[in-house]
Amino acid sequence: MSENSEENIFSKIFENRKKKKDRVYIHILLFVVTFITTTIAGMEWTTGKIGPYEFHDLLKALPYSVSILLILGFHEFGHYFASIFHKVKATLPYFIPFPPIPGFLNFGTIGAVIKTKTPVPNNKAMFDIGVAGPIAGFIMCLAILIYGFLNVPGEEYILAIHPDYFLDTYGQNAISLEFGNNLLFIILKSIFIEPGQFFPPMSEIYHYPYLCVGWFGLFVTAMNMVPVGQLDGGHVIYAMFGLKKHEHIAGFSMLILLLLGFMGLFDTLLELQLNVGWSGWLFWAGILYFIIKIKHPPVYHFEKLNLGRQIVGYISLLILILSFMPSPFIISL
């Protein structure tokens, strides 16, 4: 081997290592920025105040930001480690920050993603990679919610934020934001909240960091588990039932999203105050149709999943049912 060829090999190795380091720095930078934006968002949600903040104020928002990053991290690393197990090259998670914007619903992030860099060889690998994320994220979300339900502060907590909370005049002539309910919230409330114990209504739940983040985790999980295209739910349905059934289920799911979206839109425009549907589902349906696409691309090799994977698949669909909210945000005067 000549000296020139040896130099070329070493230079390529050095360049590859440098590129990998640069990529890692990108992941770290995005994580740090997302930590900052979620901390600021957590301060706004839990206190109702908009900056400027002092450092000791931001420390109070750490339960919110740490919890939300744990849920997103568990979700994406579920995908990542499943990819490694099946020898599918994938990037580390990219956390996506979202800076707080006054008057705009914002949780400090719009989620996190990983990107596979090599093809997924078969539907078994597709299933494992697709289902690992929502199940891992749901487990962390459930743990945070249970902790939140077991540690709901007393009435003094909400009175420190809204001194007039128990007065008849509270909320008059003001815009009300209410988080939508879901089956899991209803079940956990019936299990952990004693009769007569104070528990905040869904219009105040965002002041409670663990309940707020747990709710957000369920919302993100439900959006990802919609069985369309290359969403996590789409991967699961395709791997379980094949391309044709996936197309039928995806088409039906899109119709449901459109129906709920138009119901929410008409409810808002006509001021019907039925609180059914949410216009944001129209936006999500548009993203699915034009960007993510409804159909799932085929894998090289497809075979029937074993019983264990089938059971896990149905459990993931149960997670969708428990997490889904037809009207996640209800805004009224």
Distances (CA, A) of 317 to 95, 135, 199, 267: 25, 10, 29, 29
Give pLDDT, residue 6: 46
Give pLDDT, residue 173: 78
- Could you tell me the pLDDT band of residue 3, with boundaries at 50, 70 and 90? very low
Mean pLDDT value of segment 54-58 = 80
Backbone dihedral region for residue 52 (phi beyond 0: left; psi -120 to 50: alpha; all else: beta): beta
- Could you tell me the pLDDT band of residue 8, with boundaries at 50, 70 and 90? low
Whole-number Å distance between alpha carbons of 136 and 324: 17
Whole-number Å distance between alpha carbons of 208 and 28: 28
Mean pLDDT value of segment 132-147 = 98
Mean pLDDT value of segment 31-35 = 97
- Flag whether pLDDT at 205 surpasses 50: yes
CB atoms within 10 A of CB 212: 24
Give pLDDT, residue 22: 59
- Could you tell me the pLDDT band of residue 176, with boundaries at 50, 70 and 90? confident
- Could you tell me the pLDDT band of residue 298, with boundaries at 50, 70 and 90? very high
Whole-number Å distance between alpha carbons of 20 and 16: 6
Give pLDDT, residue 16: 54
Give pLDDT, residue 2: 44
- Flag whether pLDDT at 7 surpasses 70: no
Spatial contact of 107 and 164, defined as CB atoms under 8 Å apart: no
User: Which tokens sit at 206?
Assistant: 């965002």
Mean pLDDT value of segment 284-292 = 96
- Could you tell me the pLDDT band of residue 174, with boundaries at 50, 70 and 90? confident
Give pLDDT, residue 20: 60
- Flag whether pLDDT at 239 surpasses 60: yes
Residue 34: name the closest of 67, 65, 5, 79 by CA.
Answer: 65
Sign of the four-CA dihedral 260, 256, 239, 116: negative
Average pLDDT of the chain is 91
CA dihedral 247, 253, 258, 264 (to 10 degrees): -170
User: Which tokens sit at 314?
Assistant: 């149905």
Across 5-19, 52-66, 88-102, 301-315, the highest mean pLDDT is recorded for 301-315
Whole-number Å distance between alpha carbons of 155 and 291: 46
Mean pLDDT value of segment 250-258 = 98
Spatial contact of 320 and 228, defined as CB atoms under 8 Å apart: no
Mean pLDDT value of segment 256-284 = 93
- Flag whether pLDDT at 215 surpasses 80: yes
User: Which tokens sit at 191?
Assistant: 């299990």
CB atoms within 10 A of CB 158: 18
- CA 38 from chain centre, in angstroms, equals 13
Partner residues linked to 109 by β-bridges: 97
Spatial contact of 88 and 118, defined as CB atoms under 8 Å apart: yes
DSSP state of 234: H
pLDDT digit string, tens, across residues 106-122 = 899 999 999 999 999 99
Mean pLDDT value of segment 231-251 = 97
Strands 329-332 and 109-113: unpaired
User: Which tokens sit at 172?
Assistant: 């008059």
